[in-house]
Amino acid sequence: MPTVLVTGSNRGIGLEFVRQYVAEGWRVIACCRRPDSGTALKVVGGNPRIEGLELADPASIHDLAVRLSGEAIDLLVNNAGVYGPDQTFGKTDYSAFEAVMRSNVLGPLAMVETLLPNLEKGGMKTVVAVSSTWGSIGGNKWGGHYLYGPSKAALNMVVKAQAIDLKDKGITLAAISPGWVRTDMGGEGAPLTAQDSVADMRTRIAELTLADSGSFISHAGGSIPW
């Protein structure tokens, strides 16, 4: 069975990715900041391998790569991300903005750079970044979201660039929007359950081919404008 590595896997969409891939019999490496307090992860059946990872810290990513040295990773799900505080014009907390950029842009970029040998050993050779429609510049009709939106637009650019640079190695990358999901981030009023969103995204991931690499797609299918 294939191996998937999921970041930010202690709650929300990441936890649901772990649950569903475990249920399918995959080997799952579940990463989160504080593995000791990742209690929801520990009650997932099938014993996913839990690894500590602070995405905003390149040294932590390097340490993870050392622990995973020589192991194949078929699918990397760059899921971890943060939203940040008040995103109204005039109220930006600039150090919070920097932190959002580190987690949402530098982290996923560094994961692919650092775990490339593991991905090359895998059969699927696939990386998906959980992005957001708030990162669609062309689709932005609402304003606001000053930390989160630009971080996801920048992440989309990273995915596009990596797709170009890694095509020769047969690695497929895509940015994917999970939709508006009932999680800590999405809130209780969101229309989609994490189960349905992740089931959709798994279908999209299974459909990806190298020809699709570098695209920005919706969980429901179809592409999203940059």
Partner 1 sequence: MGDSMPTVMVTGANRGIGLEFARQYADAGWTVIATCRNPGRADALKALAGDVTVQAMDVGDPASIRAAKKGIGDAPIDVLINNAGLLGGRDQAFGATDYDTMGEVLRVNVIGPLAVAEAFVGNLEAGKGKRLATVSSRIGSIAENGSGGRYIYRPSKAGVNAVMKSVALDLAGQGILVAILHPGHVQTDMGGPKAPVSPADSVAGMRAVIDGLTPETSGHFFNYDGAVIAW
Residues forming contacts to partner 1 in the complex (CB under 8 A) are 58, 89-90, 92, 94, 97-98, 101-102, 105-106, 109-110, 113, 116, 135, 137-138, 140-146, 149-158, 160-166, 225-226
Nearest to 105 by CA among 170, 159, 179: 159
- CB 22 to partner 1: min, Å: 31
Tokens representing 179?
């939709």
Q: Which is nearer to partner 1, 173 or 205 (CB)?
A: 173
9 vs 162, which CB is nearer to partner 1? 162
If the CB atoms of residues 31 and 173 are measured against partner 1, the closer one turns out to be: 173
Q: How many residues does the chain have?
A: 226
Record the tokens describing residue 214, joined without a space: 């570098």
Residue (18 or 155) nearer to partner 1, CB = 155
Alpha-carbon distance 133 to 33, whole Å?
A: 25
Task: Strand 172-177: give its sheet, edge to edge.
Answer: 49-52, 27-32, 3-6, 75-78, 126-130, 172-177, 215-218
Closest approach, Cβ 215 to partner 1, in A, equals 11
Distance of closest approach, residue 75 Cβ to partner 1, in angstroms: 19
To partner 1, the closest distance from the beta carbon of 171 in angstroms equals: 11
Q: Name the minimum Å distance from CB 141 to partner 1.
A: 7
CA distance linking residue 145 with residue 85, whole number of Å: 10
CB atoms within 10 A of CB 92: 15
CB 48 within 8 A of CB 114: no
Name the residue nearer to partner 1 (CB basis): 10 or 131: 131
Asked if 64 and 31 count as a contact pair (C-beta separation under 8 A), the reply is yes
